[in-house]
Amino acid sequence: MLGIVFAAICGRMVAEAAEPVASRRPNIVYIMADELGYFELSCLGNPHLRTPRLDQMAAEGIRFTSALAGSSVCAPTRCCFLTGKHSGHTSVRSNGGGTPLRADEQTIASLLKTAGYATGGFGKWGCGGRGSTGVPEKHGFDLFLGYYDQVHAHSYYPPYLVQNSKEVPLAGNRGGSDGETYSHYVIVDAAKKFIRDHKDEPFFCYMPITPPHGIFDIPDDDPARMIYRDKPWPEQARRYAAMVSMVDRQVGEVFDLLKELGLEDNTLVFFSGDNGGADYFASKEHPRGIHGANVNPQTGVEYRGKKGNLYEGGLRIPMIARWPGRIEPGQVSDLLWYFPDVLPTITELAGVDNPADIDGISIVPTLLGEQASGRSQPTHEYLYWEIGGQTAIRAGTMKAVHPGSNRRWELYDLAADPSEANDLASERPEELAALKALAEAAHTPVQEGVFFDREIHERDRRAKFGGRDPSGLPAKVNTLPAAGLLPMKQLKIVAASSESDGNGKRAIHAIDGDPRTHWHTSFQPEVLKHPHELVIDLGGAATVRGIRYLARQDKGWNGAIASYEVTVADRPDDFGEPAASGTFTKKKQSQEFIFQPVKGRYLRLRILSEVNGGPWASIAELGIVGETSR
Ligand SMILES: [Ca+2]
Ligand SMILES: [Ca+2]
């Protein structure tokens, strides 16, 4: 009897294996909401937010309790998703908004292209601004409509969207919250049209949609607005809730379309967040936000942290997959996996080979069952994240977190301590050391792609504001007189203690000859304090007689320099005693400080304080008084 049962099972396995998964080449729809927290679905017990179609999707498919984001913010997490790499290997590790993929990088879409898939993307790209090597149409997408730059994506009413690097005007829009054409409707409509247009061939429809990410805008006549109209919450919290329910409705519309086209049984649909939830609308009464993105509504157990850091609150995302007839309905899986795993999962189903340098592992055995896929589910030796000065690494239930450059490593056992409240670092130093060693090996220096045309990219960023210059700069600004200075073109920044990359206030702006741009020190994920430094290569041995400085020319004063030291040396890494120290005053006009001449090739400006006593440093222009040695 046992033998017969065994033979029957084996027979079934053989039959399944004889028809490889890849031969069917399923359509793939991946819907990624921006900033939807783990506990913000009604099927997870959220007491406020109504998500009936997502709840239904979970009931008809598989819901994951331990699926994690590739990173805790938008651009880096998208890069992990698209390339199958963890953030120690990716090209987009900055969340500046337009940081590009390199030209040679493969993505899910470029791989699916090789298997004859039609590929479309709709929403927020975040892996390369216009004019760069990272644009989606150069990375496998036949069609991408939406926002290439993330700052552009802050507005639901921009004057235009971008499709394959061309502008698509949106009627009546003036940027910010001001306009007549809600961009998200245009994006969802285009995605549905793409599915319809490609119903007879395998397709990949990637929908990295922008809601419920703020600005929290949704048309007043959207049906989802009605659901929360009378709730006793702040208006912004009602809007956020409506955006969640709007997304839920639109996910349902995608399912309805697949059903109408007869594609349900041959289409795998994923739905997930992009990074951990934020504590939106936090108050004294609701310290973790009104809707409790990271608080288990049943147990009260919290995930520590939120979007932007590498505690569980920054990494936990909702994740559901549905494929009628292939994924057993009603499953809840505790498999520990993350964004780099999406690429190999999809390529396995499409029958495409993976690039050699990915970090992900296919989860097909979990999705389809180990019997149907003919093998057991492999698991990760470790999962790895880095962002800004933060690092985290997880092996099984153990997780080591390095929360910032001047903080100590922490160690948690998530099985016993899901809230990461009990740091075991001093109790279990060997385990921490082993994880740190893995983390060190997982990190490689970042190699970003490049821009050919920064101006077109800046134009997209200004489109958030309807094309207006948002910086608050007056029409006429002060300038740095050039007389007696080393030529600005000859100067080069060789080191900066930090720069506010996300704001486009990079160190280069201190010496770019443009008074309207400025360098600002970083304030995310943490505010870095004095001293701040710039090291400048003078382009050759020079006699330095002083410095000339122009404070930021917009309305702000943050970072405007008070006291500082100047050091000149022959090597960029061997500075001795300062040549001079001085103090600038609080004014927008050019200021100069002349000191005893000193010779050298490299100048270090060390900034010790700010005019208002704040922790930052900023410079619109810095000139070096002196002459190049002959
Ligand atoms: Ca996000
Ligand atoms: Ca400048």
Rounded CA-CA distance 515/509 in Å is 9
Rounded CA-CA distance 448/29 in Å is 28
Rounded CA-CA distance 568/536 in Å is 10
pLDDT higher than 60, residue 2:
no
pLDDT higher than 70, residue 470:
no
Residues present in the chain in total:
630
Taking only the tens place, the pLDDT of each residue in 217-238 is 999 999 999 999 999 999 999 9
Name residue 596's amino acid: Q
**Relative to the alpha carbon of 488, which ligand is closest?**
2
Percentage of the chain with pLDDT > 90?
A: 88
Q: Are strands 62-64 and 532-550 parallel, antiparallel or unpaired?
A: unpaired
CB atoms within 10 A of CB 6: 10
**Relative to the alpha carbon of 124, which ligand is closest?**
1
Binned at pLDDT 50, 70 and 90, residue 406 comes out as confident
pLDDT higher than 90, residue 546:
yes
CA of 493 to the centre of ligand 2 (A): 13
**Are the beta carbons of 84 and 352 closer than 8 angstroms?**
no
pLDDT higher than 90, residue 526:
no
CA of 479 to the centre of ligand 2 (A): 10
Tokens of 582: 């001085």
**Relative to the alpha carbon of 35, which ligand is closest?**
1
Taking only the tens place, the pLDDT of each residue in 350-360 is 999 999 999 99
- The CA-CA-CA angle for residues 157, 163, 168, to 5°, reads 50
Could you tell me which residues come within 8 angstroms of residue 126 by beta carbon, excluding any fewer than 6 positions away?
74, 75, 78, 79, 92, 97, 147, 148, 149, 150, 153, 208
Q: What is the pLDDT of residue 23?
A: 52
**Relative to the alpha carbon of 214, which ligand is closest?**
1
Name residue 560's amino acid: A
Q: What is the pLDDT of residue 471?
A: 66
Binned at pLDDT 50, 70 and 90, residue 621 comes out as very high
Binned at pLDDT 50, 70 and 90, residue 20 comes out as very low
Tokens of 468: 């207006």
Rounded CA-CA distance 33/54 in Å is 12
Q: What is the pLDDT of residue 522?
A: 87
CA of 57 to the centre of ligand 1 (A): 22
Alpha helices in 273-407 (DSSP H): 312-315, 342-350, 364-368, 370-373
17: exposed, middle or buried (Cβ count in 10 Å: 0-12, 13-18, 19+): middle
Taking only the tens place, the pLDDT of each residue in 268-310 is 999 999 999 999 999 999 999 999 999 999 999 999 999 999 9
Tokens of 494: 């060789």
CA of 209 to the centre of ligand 1 (A): 10
Q: What is the pLDDT of residue 568?
A: 97
CA of 75 to the centre of ligand 1 (A): 8
Binned at pLDDT 50, 70 and 90, residue 8 comes out as very low
Tokens of 104: 């040679």
**Relative to the alpha carbon of 209, which ligand is closest?**
1
CA of 6 to the centre of ligand 1 (A): 48
Taking only the tens place, the pLDDT of each residue in 273-283 is 999 999 999 99
Rounded CA-CA distance 427/424 in Å is 5
Binned at pLDDT 50, 70 and 90, residue 495 comes out as very high
Q: Taking all residues of the chain, what is their mean pLDDT, rounded to a whole number?
A: 93
**Are the beta carbons of 59 and 329 closer than 8 angstroms?**
yes
Q: What is the pLDDT of residue 250?
A: 98
164: exposed, middle or buried (Cβ count in 10 Å: 0-12, 13-18, 19+): middle
CA of 515 to the centre of ligand 2 (A): 5
**Relative to the alpha carbon of 473, which ligand is closest?**
2
**Are the beta carbons of 172 and 180 closer than 8 angstroms?**
yes
Mean pLDDT of 135-148: 98
CA of 35 to the centre of ligand 1 (A): 5
Q: How far is CA 81 from CA 87, 109, 210, 401, in A?
A: 10, 11, 16, 22
Rounded CA-CA distance 452/461 in Å is 16
Rounded CA-CA distance 510/514 in Å is 8
CA of 316 to the centre of ligand 1 (A): 12
**Relative to the alpha carbon of 621, which ligand is closest?**
2
Q: How far is CA 97 from the centre of its chain?
A: 8
Q: Which H or E run includes 538? A: strand 532-550
SS3 53: helix
Q: Pick 146 or 96 by higher pLDDT.
A: 146
Name residue 257's amino acid: L
Taking only the tens place, the pLDDT of each residue in 242-258 is 999 999 999 999 999 99
**Are the beta carbons of 560 and 601 closer than 8 angstroms?**
no
**Relative to the alpha carbon of 508, which ligand is closest?**
2
pLDDT higher than 70, residue 370:
yes
CA of 614 to the centre of ligand 2 (A): 21
**Relative to the alpha carbon of 517, which ligand is closest?**
2
CA of 482 to the centre of ligand 2 (A): 14
Rounded CA-CA distance 390/28 in Å is 33
**Relative to the alpha carbon of 70, which ligand is closest?**
1
Name residue 430's amino acid: E
Q: Which H or E run includes 194? A: helix 183-197
pTM of the model: 0.78
pLDDT higher than 60, residue 609:
yes
Task: Please identify which residue in the block is written with the tokens 């690494």.
Answer: 393
**Relative to the alpha carbon of 478, which ligand is closest?**
2
Q: What is the pLDDT of residue 474?
A: 76
Residues facing residue 322 across a β-bridge: 269
Backbone torsion region of residue 433, taken as left when φ is above 0, otherwise alpha when ψ lies between -120 and 50, otherwise beta: alpha
